[in-house]
Amino acid sequence: MSKIKSFTDLEVWQIGHEFVIDIYKITKLFPKEETYGIISQLRRSAASITANIAEGFSRFSFKDKIRFYYNARGSISESQNHILISRDVGYLDKESADKFLLKADKIRQILNGLIRSTEGQIK
C-alpha cells in the first residue's frame, strides 16, 4: 500500500471523481430548459462531494477534516435526491439511475470508513 500524499490518492476521491464526470456526461442529455434547474443542482451537488473531500484532506485539525467529510456525505444524499427526481421525471432511465445510486452508496461507505479512521486520530 502506497503512502497517501494528496487527496487524489484517496480511493473515495477517485471513485467520487468518476461519479462527477459521469454525472456531467449524462446531464448533457437532459433537456436544455433544465440547464439552470436539475442539471445545475445535480452537477453542483456531485462536484461538492469531491470538493469537500479535497478540502477536508488539506485541513490541519482532525475536527476540521471530519467536518468537511460530513459535508461531503451530505452532498452524496443531495445528489441521490436529484438522481431520483431525474429518474421520476423521465430524464434518467431506471438502469442509469440505479447505477448512479449504487455508486453514491459505495462512495458513502468508503467515506464513512475515512471518517471513522480520522475520528480515531483525535486526541
Task: Read off the pLDDT of each residue in 40-68 and give the average, rounded to a whole number.
Answer: 96
The upper half-sphere exposure of residue 69, i.e. CA atoms within 13 Å in the direction of its Cβ, equals 26
Q: What is the pLDDT of residues 24-50, one digit of tens each?
A: 999 999 999 999 999 999 999 999 999
In a domain, 2, yes or no: no
Dihedral (CA of 35, 38, 40, 43) sign: negative
Q: What is the CATH number of the domain that holds 60?
A: 1.20.1440.60
The per-residue pLDDT for range 87-112, each reduced to its tens digit, is 999 999 999 999 999 999 999 999 99
* Residue span of the structural domain in which 48 resides: 16-119
Q: Is residue 34 part of a domain?
A: yes
Q: Check residue 33 and report its DSSP letter.
A: G
Residues 19, 104: contact at Cβ < 8 Å?
yes
**pLDDT (0 to 100) of residue 123:** 59
Task: Indicate the number of domains in the chain.
Answer: 1
DSSP assignment of 52-105: HHHHHHH-SSHHHHHHHHHHHHHHHHHHHHHHHHHHHTTSS-HHHHHHHHHHHH
78 found inside a domain: yes
Residue 5 maps to a domain: no
In a domain, 9, yes or no: no
- Assess if residue 3 is contained within a domain: no
Mean pLDDT (the chain) is 96
